[in-house]
Structure 1
Amino acid sequence: MNYETGSIGHEERLALPGEPAPSGRLRKIVVAVVVVLALVLAGWLLFGRKHAAPQTKGPEQAPLVTVVVPGRQLVDRTVNATGTLAAKRDLPVGVAGEGGLVTRVLVEPGQWVKAGQVLATVDRSVQQQTAQSLAAQVAVAKSDQDIAQAELERAQALVDRGFISKADLQRKAATRDAAAARVRVAQAALRETQARNGRLDIRAPAAGLVLTRQVEPGQIVSAGSGVLFRMAMDGQMELRAQVAESDLSGLHVGSRATVTPVGSTRSFPGSVWQLSPVIDPQTRQGTARVQIAYDPALRPGGFATATIVGGAGQAPLLPNSALQSDDKGSFVYIVGKDDKVERRNVKVGEVFDTGITIASGLDGTERVVQSAGGFLSPGQKVKPVVRAATLKAS
């Protein structure tokens, strides 16, 4: 081999036999390429192997998944219903007597009244005159009775002396008795008139809350005037909830309930006091009447919802994070045979602060994925880590 060294300016080149000698710039490029390739190789050796290594591993790389075996717990069975608020005992109040001109109305809706309290008064000027006349007749009859009694006593003192016969004595006794009877008749007539006058006033039939008023002073009222006031006896309210036939059979008198008026964030405790003995053949529903203590927020005629506790039963209880849903409905992932993920469609029951009951789809012995189900897919192999079930229905 012949090496020829030459120089152009300050550069040197190395010439192969039969070829012109390369320039110094070309040599630098070759060296740079070699360095880059060396760096790439070194980087692959350091990092590429580390990232590629897991791809060669087998079953040990299955993801860890926390699962829970819920078992079955005693949970309340509840029924959701809607209905209308009303007075438990709605008392219509009208004219009990002969009526007349209303002179005063003494109450307004929303006021509490006692049993027998006057709600409105009716003019009684004519009736008062009649009562005074009858009272005078009673006084006259009593005077006649007193005279007859005195004559009888004098006759009894003289009969033993022979001045008056026994027949005269008997007549005077009969006169006295007739006078006493006339007194009783006059008194009865007076009491009747007084009772009629008392019924002129419109009175509360029981203690309670006035709901409506349909009368004003100056109005002429009579027995045919209809309802003038409506009252809620003792102020007790109720929700007349419409319940499906299948749910009504599981309720009983005394079942606890929670009532929430529409538009309100407040809920009121109550209890079922009456269940409908019949089912509407059109809607297939019955009425559950839920008694509620009075509160100004409970307005008769308003709409409300109720949650009624209809008994207790056994059901699995899962944390909220275990439940998922899609267009096919609610489901959970369980770890089944060979530690592979399986989808299980479920029907959700009651929802509590601590979790969700499963009405159907699980028997409580399955290993249910507690969370991160959204990152799994059916058939995927996982490493289950069982966590003890600590949820309680409340």
Structure 2
Amino acid sequence: MRRTLMLILPLMSGSFLAIDPAFGETLTVTPQAVIEWKPVYAEVETRDRVPARARIGGTISALDVTEGDMVEAGQRVAIIEDTKLLFQIEGIDAQLDAFGSQLDQAQADLERGQSLSERGVISNQSLQALQTNVNVLESQITSLKSERQVVARQIEEGEVLAPEAGLVLSVPVSKGGVVFAGEEVATIGAGGAFLRLGVSERYADTLKQGDTIEITEAGTATSGTLAKIYPLIEGGRVQADVEVEDLETTFVGRRVQVRLPVGSHDGLLVPETALTQSGGLDFVSVELPSGPSDRVVVPGNRVEADGIVWVEILSGLTAGDVVVTSHE
């Protein structure tokens, strides 16, 4: 005696829950929610695109990275040299030497003045003048040292550092080139990768965060999760991001075909094993009170769930029909 199995399909779940029909069993077909999919193309993108910028202007004397390199946060990307800063350092050092010599002489004069003042040879006013001269020279030396630290810091800022860890996407400069302060030396793709897609605004209300997205690449089907939908519509298109586990990021900007759930409709589904072909027509065996009878049907889309391929029947069956799910 054949058993009758019921097929249960949850709405917009991205997968179908079904009882595996065994050979010789029957299935009572009832309307089930069938997801409607919209095929679109998405591009592989990094979450952030952070520029590594020059902090000073000058000539690029060293370029340590190229496109495709992986860098760590704070890693040196390039070195920029400004010869004017080196000249400033040399000039400041020369002034420091000169003022140092003057300070040594002023301090010696002050010591002699103090000795003479104790013996009453010079007045206190002359001694104060010698002390003032020492104080002025010490202040000038302190000011020059501070100025030297500023210039030295500018020279240190000639090292262009990676702001975040990630993949070097572009290096728009070359060794020996001249750059200005704030100019981009390299672009770093950081924060992991995702798929970014654009879809017509008429589907905006049907997209929901958390939806399962089907991805087809190199003949292999995987799935992802709709992680973010951007509220700004540009050119009649809505942008969205899809999280995909272990997404290949060798080529950023690579296009990948995906399918989005944009709605659902009620349909009659039977296992693919229930269909037979003859003379270019598709048949399904239907159980009648008088016995099995082959009926011509028009099949539609195929859906795989839990290892079983289901076929939507567009015409030839009605709800409540009992079909033979497989043939011995």
Query: Normalising by structure 2, what TM-score?
Result: 0.61
**1:276 pairs with one of 218, 224, 230:** 230
Equivalent positions of 1:49-128 (< 5 A) are 68-73=5-10, 76-77=13-14, 80-100=39-59, 102-128=60-86
Paired residue type of 2:7: P
Counterpart in 1 of 2:22?
none
Paired residue type of 1:110: G
User: Contact conserved, 1:95 with 1:221, CA < 8 A, in 2?
Assistant: no
Counterpart in 2 of 1:229?
186
Shift of residue 112, structure 1, vs aligned partner: 1.2
Q: Deviations over 1:90-115 (max 9, x none)?
A: 23345432122x33322222211122
Q: Is 1:243–2:199 an aligned residue pair? A: yes
Q: Is 1:305–2:238 an aligned residue pair? A: no
Counterpart in 2 of 1:204?
162
Paired residue type of 2:46: A
User: Contact conserved, 1:212 with 1:230, CA < 8 A, in 2?
Assistant: yes
Distance of 1:357 and 1:151 partners within structure 2: 105
Distance of 1:358 and 1:174 partners within structure 2: 100
Equivalent positions of 1:142-161 (< 5 A) are none
Shift of residue 185, structure 1, vs aligned partner: 2.9
Distance of 1:308 and 1:335 partners within structure 2: 37
CA change 1:267–1:340 in 2 (3 A) is: closer
Shift of residue 221, structure 1, vs aligned partner: 1.7
Distance of 1:257 and 1:139 partners within structure 2: 72
Paired residue type of 2:45: A
Q: Deviations over 1:183-229 (max 9, x none)?
A: 443233223222322333433222211123333333x2222996443
Shift of residue 304, structure 1, vs aligned partner: 0.5
Distance of 1:163 and 1:268 partners within structure 2: 99
Which structure's residues are more often helix, by fraction?
Answer: 1
Aligned length: 298
Counterpart in 1 of 2:320?
367
Counterpart of 1:233 in 2: which secondary structure? strand
Distance of 1:299 and 1:223 partners within structure 2: 30
User: Contact conserved, 1:214 with 1:228, CA < 8 A, in 2?
Assistant: yes
Query: Normalising by structure 1, what TM-score?
Result: 0.53
CA change 1:116–1:138 in 2 (3 A) is: farther
Counterpart of 2:87 in 1: which secondary structure? helix
Q: Is 1:352–2:305 an aligned residue pair? A: yes
Counterpart in 2 of 1:37?
none
Counterpart in 1 of 2:17?
none
Counterpart of 1:70 in 2: which secondary structure? coil
Counterpart of 1:206 in 2: which secondary structure? coil
Structure 2 unaligned residues grouped into runs of 5+? 15-36
Structure 1 unaligned residues grouped into runs of 5+? 1-63, 375-394
Q: Is 1:289–2:224 an aligned residue pair? A: no
CA change 1:252–1:75 in 2 (3 A) is: closer
Distance of 1:268 and 1:303 partners within structure 2: 15
Shift of residue 287, structure 1, vs aligned partner: 0.9
CA change 1:127–1:319 in 2 (3 A) is: same
Counterpart of 2:187 in 1: which secondary structure? strand
CA change 1:68–1:222 in 2 (3 A) is: same
User: Contact conserved, 2:77 with 2:162, CA < 8 A, in 1?
Assistant: yes
Counterpart in 1 of 2:152?
194
Higher radius of gyration, 1 or 2: 1
Equivalent positions of 1:205-220 (< 5 A) are 205-218=163-176, 220=177
Q: Which deviates the most, 289-298 or 188-197?
A: 289-298
Q: Percent identity?
A: 20
Shift of residue 73, structure 1, vs aligned partner: 4.0
Distance of 2:208 and 2:233 partners within structure 1: 15
Distance of 2:222 and 2:106 partners within structure 1: 72
CA change 1:125–1:280 in 2 (3 A) is: closer
Which structure's residues are more often strand, by fraction?
Answer: 2
Counterpart of 2:155 in 1: which secondary structure? helix
Distance of 2:123 and 2:283 partners within structure 1: 114
Q: Is 1:131–2:89 an aligned residue pair? A: yes
Distance of 1:309 and 1:152 partners within structure 2: 90
Distance of 1:311 and 1:174 partners within structure 2: 88
Counterpart of 1:277 in 2: which secondary structure? strand
Distance of 1:245 and 1:297 partners within structure 2: 28
User: Contact conserved, 1:321 with 1:370, CA < 8 A, in 2?
Assistant: no
Distance of 1:209 and 1:304 partners within structure 2: 20
Counterpart in 2 of 1:20?
none
Distance of 1:154 and 1:323 partners within structure 2: 117
**1:321 pairs with one of 263, 266, 273:** 273
Shift of residue 247, structure 1, vs aligned partner: 4.4
Paired residue type of 2:233: I
Distance of 1:178 and 1:315 partners within structure 2: 95
